[in-house]
Chain A
Amino acid sequence: MKALRKLMDKAKPLFSPGGSLEKLQSVYDGFESFLFTPNTTSQSGVNVHDGNDLKRTMITVIVALLPCLFFGMYNIGLQHFIAIGTPDVSAWSMFVYGLLALLPVIVVSYAVGLGIEFIGAQIHHKEIQEGFLVTGLLIPLIVPINTPLWMTAVATAFAVIFAKEVFGGTGMNIFNVALITRAFLFFAYPSKMSGDEAFVKLDSALGYGGGTVADGFSGATPLGQVATNVGDTLSASLDTMQAFLGTIPGSPGETSMVAILIGAAILLFTGVASWRVMCSVFVGGFAMAALAHALPSSTYPASLLDPCAQLCYGGFAFAAVFMATDPVTGARTKTGQYIYGFLIGVIAILIRVYNSGYPEGAMLAILLMNAFAPLIDYCVVQRNVKRRLARLNANSQKGGHENE
């Protein structure tokens, strides 16, 4: 640590105004405040606030994401070795395969996103914010593993510039940046984002693994299988327990309910995420799934899934825990958070069941509700204002009568 401090101090004059690298001052500042707590204090007045800052909040979310990340790596390997017909290799080699498959995506996501943030901060002479730390890890977890790296790079650049920087940077964005990345990929390159070939990596990862695909293998996700179901009963062999544990094909972070619940526990215990949003998403999803299940139809095969299974499959749980609870893009009032979360749950299952074009709807549901969050907040606040105004009028009238 001391050596690092010394190095930073030694480099400081280079980056100060007049130094040879003064153009890169925001980069220096960013690294310094990332590595050390800044020793500057408020110069005007007294500010009493929580010691919890943006950096610590972000790190907490990263920690909460780690179970999903590590399980995702294991599952990438598991699905790969099942696909090439050697499911009996050790769990360790599965993990290593997944690590090697996912690592390039993580590197690309951070390099592109942070690169743009650094350039943006440099142009506007602002400090670099930690806002991309979480987004940069969310992107690899929600993008199918077979998405070409250049597509991920393009989508990340698009999302950071058009969903975040143009609105004023960290904390000012209207839409969830990671979901914009995925939505861009989803609409721009649909053939790479769904179907049988998107979610299970078949070739070798950085020279590790790989082999010929076993006969009769299909990489379709459970929801993908359900969407193509014909008849009044589900023909696909679906195991809700498997979905709960997460050993099914899917985007790296979304498959395991267990890992997501551990993450949810960390977020709720530290108070980083709103339990109102999280719970009401699940309530809304369950209610809509139960309604759909009560009126089953062979036209909409996803309505044949029972409600509990509905919540375990696809990206619903991951979106509920890590995406819907984004404090920047969600509703802020308490009542608003219940409405916001509930509608996300309802719309996600509504799209999943009744729109045959999209086997999963959590992404679109959250982006739609992101747009409505300010309106929900506005209505809640106005209702409160009206209620209090009515009370004030009632009181003053009563007071007036008493004076007479």
Chain B
Amino acid sequence: MLSKKNKEVLFNPLSKDNPVLVQILGICSTLAVTANLEPSIVMGISVIAVLAFSNVIISLIRNTIPTSIRIIVQLVVVATLVIMVQQFLIAFDYDVSKQLSVFIGLIITNCILMGRLEAFALNNRPWPSFLDGIGNGLGYAAILVIVGFFRELLGSGTLFGYQVIPQFCYDHGYMNNGLMILPPMALITVACIIWVHRARNKELQENN
């Protein structure tokens, strides 16, 4: 079930081959949806779902897709899944789907998806492709959650909308950092995570 190779496929994207930290893909949505923790998590789960199932579908039909129109086929599959996720969110979590606005729809253009379909699903069997989708989705979602955690905590003083920083601190002059809510700070937060990640993984550092 989980051979050594499959384990690598599943767990490598979490750290050593992380789509956001190492391949620097999917940055746009990472900046756009992480002002609060809840939409970050919902976005992460949506991407995991779309990525896993589109990987499986493409992998199943990989031998029948003519090479010249493969991008169109991939887009059709991804777009179908994204619309399903979007309708699901509108039905069951309307407020968050409002917050995420266009960014659920924009999963279609997420570079991680096209990257995984092109690089993995087209050449591998469905089960490894499924694991690859789950692994990369988790790697992406993990970064979203970390960024969302720090941005909501420092920018609004809340987590999931509940106040976390005690009133006591505000009474003594503490203030929320308005810059954390703005997109530039998401970029710097991601940069900090990359910094820590590279410092901990010597094999990622270039020799110069």
Contact = CB atoms under 8 A, between A and B. Distances in A.
Interface string A180-211: 00001001111110000000000000000000
A162 interface: yes
Nearest to A150: B173
Interface in A56-77: none
A168 B166 CA distance: 38
Given A184-B179, A187-B178, 17 more contacts: A148-B173, A150-B173, A151-B175, A154-B177, A162-B188, A187-B179, A187-B182, A188-B177, A188-B178, A188-B179, A188-B180, A189-B175, A189-B177, A189-B178, A190-B178, A191-B175, A192-B175
A85 B188 CA distance: 46
Nearest to A148: B173
Interface of B: 173, 175, 177-180, 182, 188
A188 B188 CA distance: 14
B4 to A, nearest CB: 38
Nearest to B182: A187
Contacts, number: 19
Contacts of B178: 187-190
Interface string A140-164: 0000000010110010000000100
Contacts of B180: 188
Contacts of B188: 162
Interface residues of A, number: 12
Contacts of A151: 175
Contacts of B179: 184, 187-188
A190 B176 CA distance: 11
Contacts of B177: 154, 188-189
Contacts of A184: 179
A156 B155 CA distance: 18
B88 to A, nearest CB: 36
Interface in A325-345: none
A148 B170 CA distance: 13
Nearest to B180: A188
A203 to B, nearest CB: 13
A28 B182 CA distance: 41
A190 B178 CA distance: 8
B62 to A, nearest CB: 43
A379 to B, nearest CB: 27
Nearest to A187: B179
Task: Output the residue of B179, B180, B182 with the most chain A CB within 10 A.
Answer: B179
Nearest to B188: A162
A148 B172 CA distance: 11
Nearest to A191: B175
A151 B173 CA distance: 10
A188 B177 CA distance: 5
Contacts of B182: 187
A318 B173 CA distance: 30
Contacts of A150: 173
Nearest to B195: A166
